Each structure stands twice: as C-alpha cells, then as structure tokens.
Amino acid sequence: MPTEYNIAELVQKLGNNKEIFESAKEFQDMMMRYECAAMEIETKIKILNEEFSLRTQRNPIESIKSRIKSPASIYEKMSRKGYDMTIEAMEQHLSDIAGVRVICSFPEDIYAVARLITEQDDIIILEIKDYIAKPKENGYRSLHLIVAVPIFLANEKRNMKVEIQFRTIAMDFWASLEHKVKYKKNVENPEEIARELKECADIITSVDYRMQEIEHKTSVIE
C-alpha cells in the first residue's frame, strides 16, 4: 500500500517557510510516484533473481531493500544544497528520493545483475558510480546506479529516478557499522578509528574475492 507521508512533520520543521510547497497533495503525489518507481525496480530485480535460480541453481541476490527518503531528509538536503524548495526542483536535483539496495553473494554477482538491469530497454542509465573499482578514501565500496524507470499511472506514463546500490554481504556489513561509528559523538582518536575502519574494509574485500574463488572451485561444471 502507498505510504501516507506526514506533511505536517515537514511543515512543522519549516516554520514560517511553509509556502515553499505548492501543496501537500502535490508533494504526496510525487512521493507516491517515487514509491511506485522503487517497487518497479524491486520487481525487475526479483524476476532476474528467479531466472538466475532456475538457470544456475543458485540465487546471486541475498536480499533486496527499498526505501523512500523522508520529507525531513528531502528538506534538509535541498536546503543544504541551496535549491528552490519546489516539486520540480526536487525531481530535477535529487536522485535518491527512491532507493533500492541489492545485497549480492559475490562481487561478480553485483556486476552481472547490474548489467542485466541496465540492458533492459525501458531503463535509462543516468549515472554510474563504481565505488568497488574505485573505493572511497574511507574504504566504502558499493556500485551505485542512478536510473530512470517508467511508471504507468491512470492518465500518464512518467520516468522516475531511482538510485540502486549493489553491495556484497560483507560490504553492507562494513557500511552499516561504519555509519553507526561515524555519527557517534565525542569519539576519542578519530584518526585511528578511521584508519582501522579502512583496514577492515580492505580485509573484507580480500575475503569477498577469496570466497568468490572458493565458490568457483566448488561449482559443478556441466
């Protein structure tokens, strides 16, 4: 069921700036479209996983999670970047209102599933950020795709942006813990913590590829 987005939460946060929204109804309509887009991507990926399972006797995808950015988070990001607080500006400038995270078994599964998604003729690739080939300085690894996917409404067809994040189980484990550590206050020796997190990211990557090699050795060759 579509989520009931609490516009009052955002209006309360905005205080005297409530006029920046054309109407609560238009904002809810926008959020509904993004939720439909996330559902569309999630369905496509689930179908690919079923096909993989049938053909290869294993599932390359461990889990799929989708989320829609909260009104407060949208306001904070638009405000921080200095964009006009309008529906049109949100749709133009934000690419992560709808997000889908795909957790795969091995690094090669990430690229295989991502390739199949981007090859579908109704998917438009807007941006690719490969933090696996080129990790962030802190050790973060993930493959990010910004795509546009069509949704079919009662009276129109709309292309909506969705951010798809692909990670292995190990990458997701590291990212989750790093996020918790990063937002802790009054941490002693932050440079040492950052160095240890980077070392852990490198170790996890090594394990990822070693497990992938083991999987190759134990696979039945038909």
**Which of 163, 188, 191, 199 is flagged as catalytic?**
163
Identify whether 163 is a catalytic site residue.
yes
Cα distances from 184 to residues 79, 156, 180, 188, in angstroms, run: 24, 46, 7, 10
Packing angle, helices 190-218 and 169-182, rounded to 10:
170
Cα distances from 18 to residues 12, 78, 86, in angstroms, run: 8, 14, 11
pLDDT in tens for each of the 222 residues of the chain?
A: 445 555 556 555 555 455 544 467 888 899 999 999 999 999 999 999 998 888 877 889 999 999 999 988 999 999 999 998 888 999 999 999 999 999 999 999 999 999 999 999 999 999 999 999 999 999 999 999 999 999 999 889 999 999 999 999 999 999 998 888 876 667 778 788 889 999 999 999 999 999 999 999 887 554
All domains of the chain in start order, with CATH: 7-169 (3.30.460.10)
Q: Structure pTM?
A: 0.84
CA–CA distance, 38 with 33 (Å, rounded to integer): 9
CA–CA distance, 43 with 37 (Å, rounded to integer): 10
